[in-house]
Chains A and B, each alone.
Chain A
């Protein structure tokens, strides 16, 4: 760890080539056009646990969010195709006893595999956060090199630090087609996991880089990649990878928790920033922006 102290401003640096997030537009839509509202499914049950805050952040982002138990989908009480965004959330599905996200992935593949493939083929969006990311890679939906097939090519395994760890990380946001876009080059989010170390064979890593599928990397406060160094890279992930998308950018998985940065007071430094910054400049938390961008995009591509 360097001795340099952390800089103060870390609410998210605006990306200079992008306009500010179209906040007003989505809010208007979420209020008015109920018939044409983007619908988000937040999948819960079996020890998953971030359902309430993920649904909350989807609503803040303008979506009509619904918490659905896995068995409601399996039993046909709810249908995947009536939603535009599927959120696989954080938690400990089946207690993570046999590898994080492993049993969840097996369950989804066996009972909902066809429906998931159709959902993806229809151009709908999927986000997997933490346990949900682990499930996506174990399902083989990510990295998604082969369209229409499940294939496990990468893994999220035990942190090098040897323990569950809760800390906020700096994330460098790369230029990718990912629709879940925080509209900033660098953001901060919390990680909370024991198995978040991204591992892939060299050829897979190369392909991920070449196809611009690496969406977020763990970084130092200064913005450069963490270079594997703890605690900036909290788990030993290869190439500091914190999140990847599929080649289309519609499927996104990440270890950090955007839904846990849904309010300015979530940030670890918010009481400091209040005294150090002009309070007028308060921005939307990047956890919300990331979802808002996906909802806007879904609105355009899937509803209009």
Chain B
């Protein structure tokens, strides 16, 4: 008989979680709810004596000061009761720690199959409940409570829920005919979500007589095999030498293990077929043609290798799990960026926590392993207040909440600071949200007498799997993410990352590294063991794995499932046989599961067995063999030819109201509530925080941390994205995105000679299809243009791409008002991460003006570039003149500014980004809590290169354009008067103007050409406008 313990806060204590749900129910649905009390439920499916149960209740699970608990149902006052529990097989981390704690307290292990499961009860009291008569009509219905359960509390992909109505007395209860009446003596009953698979593992041979037959199998098994790959796969298995070799190990036709393995390895997610594809690009206007053989080789690898040759700080790029740069004489840093879009789109919390915890394994699996020192985030979602007709699976508001919380728990519980992030809202992301997660690690440059960045496996070394166990979770994750979102995508790959298990493993592996016990390490990510072991085997030249030795969460997994499952929190390590005892003993001391699952060989094969029988035997050469390159037609039609034009708009009469409206825009407004949920101080090295300024509420240009506490050297990191410019031209979107990332780093005081990049492309599907993707060729051309711009910018600015990732299917099929389906494609989006070393953090600069009397300068030229801007978007326009950036001209200016900053002339510096000068002057004023007197007309300006404006027009750019143009290459800098001549001297030859002065009177005063103020606003009004939208959120 299981035991069910229910734990509640004492009634006199405030239930913050319940209050937050009640508030959301009121704000989102208009339901009046007086109070919600939450109850934690632990169901112990284990044989426990009455005495043991009482010990667990009193000594472990109940705080005598704040909580009450019972093995009988708690009967709290309520009108409704909602229960939410996890579905079988979904990661229940709290259940696992409960079992661990029980075992420790009782001093004995639970028996096989015994476990704990956690769930939650919500006791809901309606607003005005207890009143009678006319008030009766205001009462909530069962459907309303179901909506609360479905849309606030549970996600039916991973959870189940139930609603009961509470009836005052037992007699009244009996009189009720409807189901779902709360019985306080029964409570929720005993729900045991144990996984029991009545299944004997079996290897199946797959008939591959014809391409059609194989494609049918692919469809049946959700392999998503590309039809172009099928002939190559069939050719391999029909080769005589292959067949003879297979016969020697007892195999004939391909097994399901092999085909599943191949499907994983060939997926776009793992193999980057799109970026390695061949592009036939044509510019419809000029007739210019380009043939590109692999975007990756042409635009990423080539420039990066070229730059690496002239930048000795570049240590390792393009092959390991993360890129490696030199931090100081004794340390390297490691960096990589990932996306986790598809899973987050279906289950926001689970998807994003799995994403952040997953990306943290990359630096841990880079070189011989690095310690994680920071993480960052970028979320692109539909409008938080979306009220349109399309029906995304999760409303953007809920999706954003879930994503924020997932990254919060993933980062905070890993003990890794999250000091930077971006959020961008646009309706195009209703189809699929984007969740970017970036991770930075640090490692000593030498470990156990060898270079830390070098590693290899060798024949005879043991394959060790560390961390979590293998279950059915995450099967077909990579193949599904290589596809657009629709209701048909199997949900089996929804996972919930477990930072606790991973943190233990992280700490253990770093000790093992320092003791010289690690020869090679890599993470189990997409594709699971198949990918981690398969790739590590290339160094040794082969591997043998005994699938039956792999620890499972529950019995009954087929061999192919064990091999490709993406169960989280696992690393694969190669350990020398003479060191295995030390390695396993250390793992046990750290309470980390580690298991020898095989041995590296030089056989040339990935050889898998199960209970002694071979179930897969695939040549390592196979994946290098003759798979056809993917081909894409890319057709560029320039924006003017697509009908884009500058809008016809006159200057607004009320500049003050216009600026306040801009500050309240979702993509401008303060998002302090998100940054504050993330621990950005842990590890003790915070230098420039995510929020800066007198009131510590304005977002910084970049984050700076001291990863080595004994040193005053720092790492600066920032990110940018400008997807709306892709509405016009992804070339300029890319150039401006990279430029802004560099500018942000320069603003905080980074070294312009040491800037590394991480490119994260999220693109809609680019394969043309006349009905399903009629603009596919344009999307493909945008991708080519984006890559062209990236290469040009990186070469000009000397930025090696230390790491990167492409996620190619940010499309969704959404139901509309009349049952029709809409294909919604996300804007082509590049998130660019830039990282740099700060030689002395005590010279760092934040964006806030510091002292009244300092001079305010603007650096850079403002042009008539409002295409895709926030201002045009607010006025319902797109425009044509998209901002452009010329990196060759800008870099010398940034070097000059960096030198001025190094010499101590700069009190504050800030890159002007989305929203233009107007918005960023306001941010500056708020950050300093000091007034700014600005002579707007002094700002250097010019016509855009493409515009036909005459010289006179250019010289006098209209004031609304000066305020809201988003021209690249601009910064706002404040300088003490006594240093102004030295500062100006440093920037000789660059576009620079003294724009105004910092003053004590807390007002933003902007004067136009005629001398009268265009706007004159107190800082409190700016702050009110900027904070009103999300100010209530915590």
Interface residues of A (CB under 8 A from B): 3, 5-6, 44-50, 52-53, 56-57, 69, 71-72, 75, 90-92, 94-99, 102-103, 106-107, 110, 138, 152-155, 157-168, 190, 192, 199-201, 236, 257, 259-260, 262-266, 268-269, 271-272, 275-276
Q: If A94-B97, A268-B696 touch, does A163 touch B63 (CB 8 Å cutoff)?
A: no
Q: If A95-B97, A155-B63, A166-B678 touch, does A46 touch B504 (CB 8 Å cutoff)?
A: yes
One of A71, A138, A160, A268 near B14 (C-beta < 8 A)? A160
Closest chain B residue to A190, Cβ basis: B681
Across the interface, which residues of A come within 8 angstroms of B66, CB to CB?
155, 157, 199
Closest chain A residue to B929, Cβ basis: A5
Contact A45 B63 (CB under 8 A): no
CB distance from A145 to the nearest CB of B (A): 14
Across the interface, which residues of A come within 8 angstroms of B589, CB to CB?
69, 71-72, 75
Q: If A56-B710, A158-B17 touch, does A95 touch B64 (CB 8 Å cutoff)?
A: no
Contact A99 B101 (CB under 8 A): no
Across the interface, which residues of A come within 8 angstroms of B684, CB to CB?
50, 52-53, 56-57, 259-260, 262-263, 266
Closest chain B residue to A168, Cβ basis: B696
B 697-714 contacts with A by CB, 8 A: 706, 709-710, 712
Across the interface, which residues of B come within 8 angstroms of A263, CB to CB?
684-685, 706, 709, 712
One of B16, B414, B678, B929 near A160 (C-beta < 8 A)? B16
One of B13, B681, B844 near A257 (C-beta < 8 A)? B681
Q: If A110-B104, A264-B842 touch, does A153 touch B65 (CB 8 Å cutoff)?
A: yes
Q: B695 in the interface, Cβ–Cβ < 8 Å?
A: yes
Across the interface, which residues of A come within 8 angstroms of B850, CB to CB?
271-272, 275-276
Across the interface, which residues of B come within 8 angstroms of A159, CB to CB?
16
**Can you list 8 contacts pairing A with B, beta carbon distance less than 8 Å?**
A5-B929, A71-B591, A95-B94, A98-B60, A157-B63, A164-B412, A190-B681, A265-B841
One of B9, B61, B844 near A157 (C-beta < 8 A)? B9
B 37-94 contacts with A by CB, 8 A: 42, 59-61, 63-67, 93-94
Across the interface, which residues of B come within 8 angstroms of A265, CB to CB?
686-687, 706, 712, 841-842, 844
What is the CA–CA distance of A161 and B97 in the complex, to the nearest angstrom?
26
Q: If A159-B16, A166-B681 touch, does A92 touch B413 (CB 8 Å cutoff)?
A: yes
Contact A97 B94 (CB under 8 A): yes
Contact A92 B500 (CB under 8 A): yes
Contact A110 B414 (CB under 8 A): no
Across the interface, which residues of A come within 8 angstroms of B98, CB to CB?
97-98
Q: If A103-B97, A162-B1034 touch, does A271 touch B845 (CB 8 Å cutoff)?
A: yes
One of A49, A90, A107, A168 near B503 (C-beta < 8 A)? A49
What is the CA–CA distance of A132 and B254 in the complex, to the nearest angstrom?
56
Contact A106 B60 (CB under 8 A): yes
Contact A165 B841 (CB under 8 A): no
CB distance from B302 to the nearest CB of A (A): 39
CB distance from B84 to the nearest CB of A (A): 16
Q: Apart from A47-B415, A99-B67, A199-B65, what are 18 other A-B pairs with CB-CB below 8 Å?
A: A45-B591, A46-B500, A49-B414, A52-B684, A56-B684, A92-B500, A94-B97, A97-B98, A98-B97, A102-B101, A106-B59, A138-B63, A163-B20, A163-B676, A163-B1034, A165-B677, A201-B65, A266-B687
What is the CA–CA distance of A130 and B694 in the complex, to the nearest angstrom?
26
CB distance from A100 to the nearest CB of B (A): 10
Q: B724 in the interface, Cβ–Cβ < 8 Å?
A: no
What is the CA–CA distance of A304 and B850 in the complex, to the nearest angstrom?
49
Q: B851 in the interface, Cβ–Cβ < 8 Å?
A: yes
What is the CA–CA distance of A157 and B13 in the complex, to the nearest angstrom?
10
Across the interface, which residues of A come within 8 angstroms of B104, CB to CB?
103, 106-107, 110
What is the CA–CA distance of A124 and B687 in the complex, to the nearest angstrom?
34
B 678-736 contacts with A by CB, 8 A: 678-689, 692, 694-696, 706, 709-710, 712
Contact A165 B101 (CB under 8 A): no
What is the CA–CA distance of A268 and B100 in the complex, to the nearest angstrom?
39
Across the interface, which residues of B come within 8 angstroms of A262, CB to CB?
684, 709
CB distance from A155 to the nearest CB of B (A): 4
Contact A44 B507 (CB under 8 A): yes
One of B61, B682, B929 near A90 (C-beta < 8 A)? B682
Across the interface, which residues of A come within 8 angstroms of B678, CB to CB?
166
Contact B101 A106 (CB under 8 A): yes
CB distance from B98 to the nearest CB of A (A): 6
* Contact bitstring B1-20, A, C-beta under 8 A = 1, else 0: 00000000100011011011
Across the interface, which residues of B come within 8 angstroms of A272, CB to CB?
694, 846, 848, 850
Contact A164 B679 (CB under 8 A): yes
Q: B472 in the interface, Cβ–Cβ < 8 Å?
A: no
Contact B415 A97 (CB under 8 A): no
Q: B907 in the interface, Cβ–Cβ < 8 Å?
A: yes
Q: B120 in the interface, Cβ–Cβ < 8 Å?
A: no
Contact A56 B65 (CB under 8 A): no
Closest chain B residue to A164, Cβ basis: B677
What is the CA–CA distance of A269 and B691 in the complex, to the nearest angstrom?
11
Contact A97 B97 (CB under 8 A): yes
CB distance from A271 to the nearest CB of B (A): 4
Q: If A103-B101, A162-B20, A266-B684 touch, does A47 touch B503 (CB 8 Å cutoff)?
A: yes
Across the interface, which residues of B come within 8 angstroms of A44, CB to CB?
507
Across the interface, which residues of B come within 8 angstroms of A57, CB to CB?
684
Q: B499 in the interface, Cβ–Cβ < 8 Å?
A: yes
Contact A162 B65 (CB under 8 A): no
Contact A52 B706 (CB under 8 A): no
Across the interface, which residues of A come within 8 angstroms of B42, CB to CB?
98
Contact B683 A52 (CB under 8 A): yes
Across the interface, which residues of B come within 8 angstroms of A266, CB to CB?
681, 684-687
CB distance from A263 to the nearest CB of B (A): 7
Closest chain A residue to B748, Cβ basis: A271
What is the CA–CA distance of A264 and B42 in the complex, to the nearest angstrom?
45
Contact A92 B20 (CB under 8 A): no
CB distance from A227 to the nearest CB of B (A): 17
What is the CA–CA distance of A7 and B820 in the complex, to the nearest angstrom?
59
Across the interface, which residues of B come within 8 angstroms of A106, CB to CB?
59-60, 101, 104-105
